[in-house]
Amino acid sequence: MIDYKKHLLRKLMLKNIKILKEKLNKNLWTENNEILDSHLYDQRGNIKGKTSLLLLPQNTADVVEIVKVCDQYKIPIVPQGGRTGLCGGTIPNKNGKEILLSTEKMNNILEISKDNFYMIAQSGCSLCDIKNKALENNRFFPLTLPSETACTIGGNISTNAGGSAVLKYGMTKEVVEGLEVVLPNGEILNSIKNIEKDNRGFDPKYLHIGSEGTLGIITKVKLRLFPEIKKKAMAIVALDSIEDIINFLNITKNQCYEYLSAFEINSRIGLNLIKKYYNNIPIPFNNKYNWYIIFELSSYDNLDLDLKIKNIISKGLNNKIVSDAVVPQNLNQYNNIWKTRELLSEAQKIKGKSIKHDISIPINKIPIFLNKANKFLSAFHEDNILAFGHLADGNLHYNISKPEEMSDTLFNKLHKQINSNIFDLVNDLGGSFSAEHGIGLIKKKEFKKYTSKEELIIKNNFKKLLDPNNIMNPGKVYN
């Protein structure tokens, strides 16, 4: 028997590819299977898509050329940056009809103005290159993610990425001054200007920040830079309870609000993972406490931040909030302490399957959340439950690893129920089921369930207005 649906899809796919190959310059695409295959997996290796063509534009004109053809022939495009996204946003549909567009060759930094504190770059530049270029010019670009060598600035903007510097500098949207976007009809929306103020009604660039490639392709970005950081000081402190951590955050903010640039939570379970999978990294305090906070102060001048760190720790110790503290004495110790936090996602990946939650909760309700969530999960040994993340902005990564003795089938069966319980609880506490990773492919159901009717109408209508042929990352975010 012929599967007509499959047959028709294949015909359509072959037609799409033929059109693109005929219409586009040869250096704009590849059909090389090995290259294609490396672009088909999500970061966690859980989802795999299918495609027969990868488009590799080098500049805005190339993107315009591609998008115009795709819009005319209704060929769906999946934009890809560094493919470090954690929600499957870069994975094409399994039917193979969608074409990939990678910004990897759009990786030039175009302009940097030291005096006016901005940088203009193509969207495929890695975050790491952006940060390094700023540093070379005695400037600082604050976005800080463990994935920074691989992720692109276009991907960061498309996901409105967070990270550990949100506390001081805000989410990515706060450091974007202008964007150039190729819209789904191939026209260019350009908001890159040389002026600070431009108050002509609402600013459409904000529609594209966090839109996960569903409203157009970001081609160029203008980023806000800051003065070079002259002084940094950090410590890791050990604490007994989550309530103590919140009290310690208050002490830190009260004493050093303007300098506080990171406040990251880790736990005994997290340090155990690092100890198990990265035995070259020294484990602070022999891991004998329940909770740990890495906090960092930074300043644009040569302030004595070490003294401020010591004062904060003393206050924590005197108030019996802090149990112990380590202040690194050299760069190597500093880097190793940060690694105990930054390598957590990778360590958990090595450990095996896990159910991940990227949630945000009003900070004062985090103890209630942890208490109730741990109760839902009483069937899991506590060593399988890892809570870590950017506590000072209420963002927790709350992940449950598959116990060794549990079958994959049972773990997969529990996945749905656990997600539902956790997300309902987060919603009841006034939080969000997606703090910084976005919606992509894997959180569409939650997007619909936990977003108000009014917000859904606005978002769906903008999608229809900008992309009437639904060619931009179809099947992601929206239904």
Ligand X SMILES: Cc1cc2nc3c(=O)[nH]c(=O)nc-3n(C[C@H](O)[C@H](O)[C@H](O)COP(=O)(O)OP(=O)(O)OC[C@H]3O[C@@H](n4cnc5c(N)ncnc54)[C@H](O)[C@@H]3O)c2cc1C
Residues that bind ligand X (CB under 6 A): 43, 79-86, 89-90, 103, 123, 145-147, 151-152, 154-156, 158-159, 161-163, 212-213, 217-218, 345-346, 436-437, 440, 473, 476
- Label residues 315-347 b or e (16+ Cβ within 10 Å = b): bbeeeebbbebbbbeeeebbebbbbbbbbbbeb
Taking CB positions, which residue lies at the least distance from ligand X?
155
How near is the Cβ of 390 to ligand X at its closest, in Å?
Answer: 7
Quote the tokens at residue 106: 């759009």
What are the start-end ranges of the H helices in 258-407? 268-277, 305-318, 331-342, 344-351, 366-376
How near is the Cβ of 284 to ligand X at its closest, in Å?
Answer: 21
For ligand X, the closer of residues 94 and 288 by Cβ is 94
CA dihedral 136, 140, 142, 144 (to 10 degrees): 30
How near is the Cβ of 325 to ligand X at its closest, in Å?
Answer: 24
Side-chain-side CA neighbours of residue 411 (13 Å): 16
For ligand X, the closer of residues 217 and 309 by Cβ is 217
How near is the Cβ of 345 to ligand X at its closest, in Å?
Answer: 4
Geometric angle at alpha carbon 32, from 30 and 34, rounded to 5°: 135
How near is the Cβ of 213 to ligand X at its closest, in Å?
Answer: 3
What is the rounded distance in angstroms from the CA atom of residue 204 to the CA atom of residue 379? 48
Name the packing angle between helices 344-351 and 268-277 (round to 10°).
Answer: 70
How near is the Cβ of 371 to ligand X at its closest, in Å?
Answer: 25
For ligand X, the closer of residues 139 and 220 by Cβ is 220
What is the rounded distance in angstroms from the CA atom of residue 124 to the CA atom of residue 108? 8
For ligand X, the closer of residues 155 and 316 by Cβ is 155
What is the rounded distance in angstroms from the CA atom of residue 96 to the CA atom of residue 204? 32
How near is the Cβ of 439 to ligand X at its closest, in Å?
Answer: 9
How near is the Cβ of 103 to ligand X at its closest, in Å?
Answer: 5
Identify which of 246, 267, 334 has the alpha carbon closest to the alpha carbon of residue 297.
334
How near is the Cβ of 212 to ligand X at its closest, in Å?
Answer: 4
In sequence order, what DSSP letters do the residues of 148-188 get, joined into one string? TTT-BHHHHHHTT---TTHHHH-SGGGGEEEEEEE-TTS-E
For ligand X, the closer of residues 163 and 284 by Cβ is 163
Identify which of 333, 344, 334 has the alpha carbon closest to the alpha carbon of residue 271.
344
Give Cα 222 distance to the centre of its chain: 19
How near is the Cβ of 315 to ligand X at its closest, in Å?
Answer: 29
Beta bridge partners of 221: 121, 179
For ligand X, the closer of residues 90 and 267 by Cβ is 90
For ligand X, the closer of residues 96 and 163 by Cβ is 163
How many CB atoms are closer than 10 A to CB 198?
9
For ligand X, the closer of residues 139 and 208 by Cβ is 208
Identify which of 105, 109, 104, 140 has the alpha carbon closest to the alpha carbon of residue 122.
109
How near is the Cβ of 104 to ligand X at its closest, in Å?
Answer: 9
How near is the Cβ of 92 to ligand X at its closest, in Å?
Answer: 10
For ligand X, the closer of residues 142 and 155 by Cβ is 155
C-alpha distances in Å from residue 386, one per residue of 269, 281, 421, 474: 6, 19, 17, 33
For ligand X, the closer of residues 29 and 380 by Cβ is 29
CB 83 within 8 A of CB 90: yes
What is the rounded distance in angstroms from the CA atom of residue 393 to the CA atom of residue 388? 12
What is the rounded distance in angstroms from the CA atom of residue 159 to the CA atom of residue 364? 27
Quote the tokens at residue 318: 């005197």
For ligand X, the closer of residues 92 and 284 by Cβ is 92
For ligand X, the closer of residues 145 and 273 by Cβ is 145
